[in-house]
């Protein structure tokens, strides 16, 4: 019995996600080469992302069948079982025989042949019950939060937090959104080339649809935009629509001095450069040298030769001898707004880490404000849904200073409003306090938070 290319790729990526702390999306991008058949790439991607999204429910079912905690299995065995159960329960087009037999073969190839009989028995039992709803198989569950957490495959602590803040109905909507395959969104860097780029992508065999929020955004399916000439030539970038909106809140004007404080991987910098124009100055800073190198390659593809790249530890006093008209602080965060795109985050994040992020984010924002010119504009953003990383950071920092305030809903020229599609109202993105928010359940995009802050003239 052989193992298909798609399942070999899926197993190896899941192994590396668990053992190396890698991100599945990065590994899929690297491993699915142009030589990989589209059908193999599609199945490998489905298995990898599906197993990561549904891991909690899969593990509960595996433990039910084996009477043994999943943590006691060798990693290879646990992955093979998860892959098998996922295919049996979620992939109607995969024959049960293939899902069972190839999972057994994976264990043998991983030199865990002693577990082959167990894997075979568990998956045959799972195949018999594959059409039964999970709730019928789980037995009594102690609380509504625990029930939702298992059925929708999230950590219980995360669900408890969201239920306390959002209520059960909104939490359920968020959980369901996190388990849907997100749209693969892209940005067009020159809107005047939109029609030509769309035609080029369609000629390359991709299915293209308009963006939900932005005129310059679009979604693709049926292939990888990164393999197209439009991508290689720097005409487009792969970027979630919510992420594309954030730099537009900065409202960069021609000739501005602009600081992108936590710039890596550089996706938001291009919009800042376009706003500043040839007479402006854009500084993109990052703490880690390897991320600066990756940004340099990205900017070379996009033709952004005028960006100044600087290695900076932004937790400390910033070393710049000038003040900036515009600053973007896209802070490192928990990433709970990206759980559909990066499902492994839900299994790595611990509640105590939110306090660590809060401390870091406060330091970044405080240091950035010191370099903001009087009358200037700063946007603090995260891809987190958690108050500790969002409004609590902003409130705490602004409380210490009398010269900065939350601008909130005020939008001016060269702003997000000008870039939205005709049927989208810019004010709908702001809550009653003036904070900008997107949600996976409400917008079909990543969950982003942003606060627009102004510094007084005197």
Q: What's residue 229's pLDDT?
A: 93
Bridge-partner residues for 380, per DSSP?
329, 451
What whole-number distance in Å separates Cα of residue 86 and Cα of residue 47? 7
* pLDDT of 223 over the 60 cut: yes
pLDDT at position 248 over 90? yes
The reported pLDDT for the residue numbered 380 is 98
- pLDDT above 90 coverage of the chain, percent: 86
Q: What are phi and psi of 95, to 5 degrees?
A: -60, 135
List Cβ neighbours of 324 (8 Å cut-off, separation of 6 or more): 256, 257, 258, 259, 283, 371, 372, 373, 376
Q: What token pair was written down for 154?
A: 């999230």
pLDDT digits (tens, 9 = 90+) for 96-140: 999 999 999 999 999 999 999 999 999 999 999 999 999 899 888
22 contacts 48 by C-beta, under 8 angstroms:
no
Rounded to 10 degrees, the C-alpha dihedral 217/221/224/229 comes to -60
At residue 285 the predicted structure's pLDDT band, cuts being 50, 70 and 90, is: very high
Q: How much is the pTM?
A: 0.94
Which active-site residues does the annotation give?
A: 383
Tell how strand 281-286 and strand 257-260 pair up: parallel
**Which domains does the chain carry?**
5-139 (1.10.940.10), 143-178 (no CATH), 184-238 (3.30.70.1170), 241-455 (3.40.50.150)
Contact at 8 Å (CB) between 325 and 256?
yes
Mean pLDDT of 350-362: 98
């Amino acid at each position: 019995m052989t193992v298909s290319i798609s399942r070999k790729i899926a197993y190896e990526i899941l192994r590396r996600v668990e053992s190396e702390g890698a991100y599945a999306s990065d590994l899929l991008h690297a491993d699915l080469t142009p030589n990989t058949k589209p059908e193999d790439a599609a199945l490998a991607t489905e298995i990898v992302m599906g197993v990561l999204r549904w891991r909690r429910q899969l593990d509960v079912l595996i433990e039910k069948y084996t009477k043994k905690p999943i943590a006691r299995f060798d990693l290879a065995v646990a992955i093979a079982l998860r892959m098998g159960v996922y295919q049996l329960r979620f992939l109607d087009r995969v024959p049960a025989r293939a899902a069972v037999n190839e999972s057994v073969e994976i264990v043998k190839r991983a030199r865990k042949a002693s577990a082959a009989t167990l894997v075979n028995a568990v998956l045959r039992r799972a195949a018999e019950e594959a059409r039964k709803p999970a709730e019928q198989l789980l037995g009594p569950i102690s609380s509504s939060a625990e029930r939702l957490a298992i059925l929708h495959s999230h950590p219980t602590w995360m669900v408890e937090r969201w239920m306390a803040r959002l209520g059960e109905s909104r939490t359920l909507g968020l959980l369901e959104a996190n388990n849907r395959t997100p749209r693969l969104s892209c940005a067009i860097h020159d809107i005047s080339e939109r029609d030509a780029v769309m035609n080029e992508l369609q000629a390359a065999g991709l299915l293209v649809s308009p963006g939900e929020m932005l005129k310059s955004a679009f979604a693709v399916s049926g292939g990888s935009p990164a393999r197209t000439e439009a991508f290689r030539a720097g005409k487009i970038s792969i970027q979630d629509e919510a992420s594309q909106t954030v730099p537009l809140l900065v409202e960069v004007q021609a000739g501005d001095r602009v600081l992108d404080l936590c710039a890596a991987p550089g996706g938001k910098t291009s919009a800042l450069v376009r706003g500043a124009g040839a007479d402006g100055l854009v500084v993109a800073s990052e703490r880690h040298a390897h991320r600066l190198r990756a940004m340099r390659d990205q900017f070379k593809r996009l033709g952004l030769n005028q960006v100044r790249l600087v290695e900076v530890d932004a937790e400390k006093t910033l070393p710049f001898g000038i003040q900036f008209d515009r600053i973007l602080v896209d802070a490192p965060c928990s990433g709970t707004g990206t759980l559909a795109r990066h499902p492994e985050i839900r299994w790595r994040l611990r509640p105590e880490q939110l306090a660590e992020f809060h401390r870091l984010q406060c330091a970044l924002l405080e240091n950035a404000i010191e370099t903001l010119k009087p009358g200037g504009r700063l946007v603090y953003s995260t891809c987190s849904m958690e108050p500790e990383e969002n409004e609590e950071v902003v409130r705490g920092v602004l409380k210490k200073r009398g010269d900065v305030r939350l601008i909130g809903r005020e939008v001016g020229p060269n702003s997000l409003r000008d870039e939205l599609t005709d049927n989208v109202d810019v004010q709908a993105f702001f809550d009653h306090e003036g904070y900008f928010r997107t949600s996976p359940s409400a917008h079909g995009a990543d969950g982003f938070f942003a606060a627009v802050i102004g510094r007084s003239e005197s």
